[in-house]
Amino acid sequence: MIFGFMGGTYYIVPEESGTELFSKKLANLQFYLLLLGGLVGVVGFLFGWTAGRPLLELPVELKWAVVIVALIFIFNVFFTMIRTKKWTAIQGMLLGGITMLAVMWLFGIPFFKNLTLDYYYWWWVIHLWVEGAWELIAASLMAFVLLKITGVDRAVIEKWLYIEVALVLITGIIGTGHHYYWIGTPRCWLWWGGIFSALEPVPILFMVFDTLNHVRHKRLEVTDRLVLYWAVGCAIFHFIGAGVWGFAHTLPLVNRWTHGTQVTASHGHMAFFGAYAMVILTVIFYALPKLKGLDQFNQKRGFWIFWITTISMVVMGLAFGVAGVLQSYMWRGLGMDFLTVQGFMRPWFMVVLLGGLGLFAGVIIYIINVLSLATKKSQ
């Protein structure tokens, strides 16, 4: 995911700035450092070299290596931007998002012996990356693509970027509290977390549909329907997965029953796929043909990828959701044994498996498609 955000940023910033990237050598260095660090981390896990913290398993040494990569990235992007007098809201929001991403990462490095305190700051990385920094980056990437494929006025799209910033600063940061319900923090977080949650996806949804409304009324021509499909799909999945699914079980009175069940897995799969995987795929399907100089190419495979992956994810998300409701009711509500309940959930896990196989097939077709485009000669 980080590779996708960084690659998208490196494509967009020179385009928005109207200038060349400050240093391609730094960009290449950053790429190989991040790739090497990731490979070392994965291999290290196999031999027990881990920090032992869920979702922040990287050892401290590799976490500092990530900090170095992030500093190189911010330095390169910032000095690309200041070489031009053409500052835009998309540039500013991207820079703010990647800076927030780097700063929040720092809170995942120290380990506190008090687990309440440790998890308090642990969520500053897990939550404020996903519902803070990544939201800003994703909104910027989406805004750029919509501008390019629809030709609408920049003001139409940028107004939603400002609303996105406001919601991240208000609801995203305070909404961290919905992770503080059951870890030993003060009771005030029950209501702060419940009220200020799940609104961040709203601006991206409105950005996409407001843009399409302007396209329809002004009879503008959409230059790339495949990219438009991915953009609209991203907005819908983002809103349903992060907004509807997230809000449905973020209120304390509901979350006391659903916390740690497959309801969370349903929300996580739908939201992560829609909010971030799809926005990166949107940028890739827009940028790769441009980088290769391909004015015309067969988009049929791209549409197959879209429908296979989205339908598969819907199947997985709904199956996880049904399993989670059963689990919440039978395990938490009726007090049945945890392992006994798994037997009632098993049929829905088979549906999840089918959805997963479909998604895997879509990914294989995507890889073939990308390699095919990447090896085509410029027209």
Give whole-number Cα distances, 272 to 77, 140, 268, 370, in Å: 25, 17, 6, 22
- Calpha distance 38→40 (Å, rounded): 5
In the predicted model, what is the mean pLDDT of the chain?
Answer: 86
Whether 11 maps to a domain, the answer reads: yes
Give the per-residue pLDDT at 179: 84
**Residue 296 to residue 95: CA distance in whole angstroms:** 33
Q: Answer yes or no: is 31 within a domain.
A: yes
Our measurement of the distance from residue 185's CA atom to the centroid of its chain's CA atoms, rounded to an integer in Å, reads 27
Structural domain includes residue 266: no
Whether the Cβ atoms of residue 143 and residue 158 lie closer than 8 Å to each other? yes
pTM of the full structure: 0.88
The CATH code of the domain that includes 161 is: 1.20.210.10
**Which domain, by its residues, includes 65?**
2-215
Q: Does a structural domain hold residue 352? A: no
Residue 143: pLDDT band (50, 70, 90) is: confident
Q: Would you say residue 25 lies in a domain?
A: yes
Count of domains in the chain? Answer: 1
**Segment 357-375, tens digit of pLDDT:** 999 999 999 999 999 888 8
Query: Mind listing the pLDDT tens digit for each residue in 70-128?
Result: 999 999 999 999 888 778 888 888 899 999 989 999 998 988 888 888 888 898 888 88
Measured distance CA(26)–CA(5) in Å, rounded: 16
289 occurs within a structural domain: no
